[in-house]
Amino acid sequence: MSANNALHIAVLAGDGIGPEVMAPALEILRKIEAKSDLKFRFTEAPAGANHYRETGRSMPDSTIRLCEEADAILLGACGLPSVRYPDNTEIMPQVELRFHFDLYAGVRPARLIPGVPSPIVGADRHGIDLVVIRESTEGLFASMGKGVVTHEEARETLVITRKTSERLFAFSFRLAERRKARGRLDGGLTCVDKANVFKAFAFFREMFDEAAARHPDVKTDRLYVDACSAMLVKRPWDFDVMVMENMFGDILSDMTAGLIGGMGMAPSADIGDRYAVFQPCHGTAPDIMGQGKANPTGMILSAAMMLDWLADKHGLESAAEAGETIERAVDKAYAGGIKPTEFGGSNGTADIAKAVLAAL
C-alpha cells in the first residue's frame, strides 16, 4: 500500500468495450472513496490489440512494472479478432499476466441477481449462486505458443503440477469455508475433471482427495466434466464452489455466465499468492463496441471483488464493506427495473452506470 494509505490500482482498460465498461467502474470506486475512509490512486496503462497494432507488442514493460508495484490490477478486456500475431493467434495480455504473476486461481462467480432473467426454468425460484474456480496458469493453456503443427498433425500438451494443484485446492477449500461462514450452509466444493479417461486428471483428483481429507468441514463432490455440464444447465442451484483445469474452466465459466443473464453480468478475478487481476468474464465485444450498449455490470462487480480481496489481504474491514455496498447497489439497480440491451432491454452502459451510482 502507498505511504499515504491510498490503494494503488493499475488500470488496464484494453480494447473494444474494455474502456467503455472501465469508466463506470472507476466512477463507482470514486464514489466509494467519497463515502468511506478508503483512498484510491488509479494509474492507467496500455495493453492489448490496439497497443500491439501501434508498437508490435501486447503491452510495454512499463505496464508490467506498474502492475508489479500496484496493490491490485483492474482490466477491461483485451484483443480484437482482426489483430493477430504472425502465427494467427490473438493478442492476449490478459493471459500473459496470469503466467507472469502466477495467478493460478481464476475465480468466476455466477450469481443470478433478482430480477435478471435466466434461460434456466426454475432459476427465479431456486436462485443461482455458484463460483467456478478455473486453474489459470497450466492445464491445456500451458501449451500456449508451444504447440507443434506439421502438415500432417498438430499437438498441444496438457500440464498438471502438484505445486499449482495443491495451492489451487487450498484456495478453493478456503473459499468454500468463507462462503459457509457467510451463510451458504448447504454448499460445498466440487472437483470437475475427466479422471475416467486421462491419467493427468486422475492425478488432479487424487490431489483433490488429499486436500479434502485435510478439510473435513467442507462437503465435497467429484464429477466428470461432461456429466457436470448437463447438471449445470438442469440444476445450477445445486452447485456452490467448483474447481477445475484451465480449459474446462474457460468453457464452463462462459456457460455459467450465460445462466445468469449473459457475458456482461459476470465478474472474475485471477488470483495468485501475491498479485491479482480483476476483470469481467467477457471479451472486447467488437460487435457492439462504440454503440453505448456494453453492460458494465460484470466490470463493476469485478471492482467489488477487488475490494473484498484487498480487505482480506490487508485486513481492511471498510474495503470488505465497500465491496458489499457495491453488490447491494447493483442488486438495487436491477430490482428498480434496469434491463440491459444484452437480454432484450433498452438500457445501455450509461443507464446502468447511472442506476448503480444512484443506488449507492
Ligand X SMILES: NC(=O)c1ccc[n+]([C@@H]2O[C@H](COP(=O)([O-])OP(=O)(O)OC[C@H]3O[C@@H](n4cnc5c(N)ncnc54)[C@H](O)[C@@H]3O)[C@@H](O)[C@H]2O)c1
Cα–Cα distance measured from residue 345 to residue 339, given in angstroms and rounded to the nearest whole number: 5
**How would you label 107-134 residue by residue, b for 16+ Cβ within 10 Å and e otherwise?**
bbbbbbbebbebebeebeeeebbbbbbb
Contacts (Cβ under 8 Å, ≥6 apart) of 13: 19, 22, 44, 75, 76
Number of helices (H), then strands (E), in the chain: 12, 12
Overall size of the chain counted in residues: 360
Q: Which three cell numbers stand for residue 137?
A: 496458469
264 touches ligand X (CB under 6 A): yes
Nearer to ligand X, 139 or 188 (CB): 139
Q: What share of the chain is helix, strand, coil (3-state, %, to 5)?
A: 45, 20, 35
Least Å distance between CB 90 and ligand X? 5
Does 134 engage in binding with ligand X (CB under 6 A)?
no
Which stretch, 145-153, 203-211, 280-288, 300-308, contacts ligand X (CB under 6 A)?
Answer: 280-288
78 lines the binding site for ligand X (CB under 6 A): yes
Q: Which of residues 5-24 bind ligand X (CB under 6 A)?
A: 17, 21
Looking at beta carbons only, is 90 or 156 nearer to ligand X?
A: 90
User: Which residue number has the CB closest to ligand X?
Assistant: 283
Q: Is 67 in the site for ligand X (CB under 6 A)?
A: no
Binding range to ligand X, per CB under 6 A, among 125-133, 161-169, 215-223, 282-290: 282-290
Q: Which is nearer to ligand X, 170 or 251 (CB)?
A: 251
Q: Which stretch binds ligand X (CB under 6 A): 22-30, 128-136, 232-240, 283-291?
A: 283-291
Q: Which CB contacts under 8 angstroms, 24+ apart, belong to 325-328?
A: 325/32, 325/35, 325/360, 326/28, 326/32, 326/300, 326/301, 326/356, 326/360, 327/301, 328/359
Q: Of 270, 314, 297, nearest to 92 (Cα)?
A: 270
Q: Which of 90, 221 has the CB closer to ligand X? A: 90
Asked if 45 touches ligand X (CB under 6 A), the answer is no
Of 59, 80, 112, 243, the residue at the interface with ligand X (CB under 6 A) is: 80
* 288 near ligand X, judged by CB under 6 A: yes
Note whether 77 binds ligand X by CB under 6 A: yes
Helix 297-314, helix 317-335: angle, nearest 10 = 160
Map the footprint of ligand X across residues 88-107, applying CB under 6 A.
90, 94
Dihedral, 285, 291, 294, 296 alpha carbons, nearest 10:
130
Which part of the chain contacts ligand X (CB under 6 A), choosing from 73-81, 145-153, 177-185, 317-325? 73-81
In the complex, the residues that contact ligand X under the rule CB under 6 A are 17, 21, 77-81, 90, 94, 263-264, 279, 282-288, 294-295, 342
